[in-house]
Amino acid sequence: MVLLGTPSEEGGGGKIDLINAGYFHDVHAAMMVHPWPEDRLEATCLAVEQFEVTFRGKEAHASAAPWQGVNALDAMTISQVAIGLLRQQLRPGDQVHGYVSEGGSAANIIPSRVVGRFMARSMISESLVGLRKRVRACFEAGALATGATLSVEDLGSPFSQMESDYDVLAHYRSAAEAIGRNFDLDDQGVTKPTCSTDMANVSLVVPTIHPLLGIATNGAVNHQPEFTAACITESADRAVIDGAVALAHAAIGVAQDEKLRARLSAR
């Protein structure tokens, strides 16, 4: 058994770097858990690309001579409106979201440099290519309308969709249930949560699972301050132990499953 530390899970894609460096070459199966408000066997992990958009215009005094400026913030505004309208025609599972990190320096100066970071997600990598082109056109529209120049920089590596190995996942379920976890939401057919992770890229080269480990959050969801606070509670401490034990026992179960062991060893 190997424990791999993989930084930049959400930003740069550290696991993708490890794949490219050969760290998963002799691995038979990969397992990981992630904190969540409920126990779930898997999420719908969307393919995602992250990128930084920069518009460059020209400063001018916003009162004395605004006509001499090129408003980069207007370019970003037009682009965001275009993306908002584009959402009406997006396929199920397609998502676009982001934020403006730099929007100007003073209210009386036409903004000459505006920067935003965005994410585009889709059900699979192939459909993400088409979505990215449509989103890029929205930013190009902002540049065209205002006369600003546009540059787009990719951030990290693209993440793929997730493909769980259900034989390995069955052993995780048995191990987790043995220590008191339950997967009623999965059994009831409740819609899987959506997210993205570079563990998905691992799943395309190694049989992989990525279940979600529930902690008591009183209704808070990931990336809310209340969820952060819930991560330093007794429930969260219990989840850390439960997650480690469940993964370890799942690995033992996989090793003792002759049919599954033969399939994984034959890779």
At the topology level, CATH places domain 47-154 in Alpha-Beta Plaits (3.30.70)
The Cα 235–Cα 39 span in angstroms is: 13
The pLDDT value recorded for residue 11 is 74
Q: pLDDT tens, 33-61? A: 999 999 999 999 999 999 999 999 999 99
Mean of per-residue pLDDT scores for the chain: 96
Q: Where are the beta strands (DSSP E) in the chain?
A: 30-31, 34-36, 44-45, 47-56, 95-102, 113-122, 149-154, 194-195, 208-209, 212-214
- Judging by DSSP bridges, how do beta strands 44-45 and 194-195 pair with one another? parallel
The residue ranges of every structural domain in the chain are 14-46+161-265, 47-154
> pLDDT per residue over 196-213, tens digit each?
999 999 999 999 999 999
14-46+161-265 classified as CATH 3.40.630.10 = yes
The pLDDT-based confidence of 1 (bands split at 50, 70, 90) is confident
Question: Which three-class secondary structure state does DSSP give residue 99?
Answer: strand
Give pTM, 2 decimals.
Answer: 0.91
Q: pLDDT tens-digit profile of 48-97?
A: 999 999 999 999 999 999 999 999 999 999 999 999 999 999 999 999 99
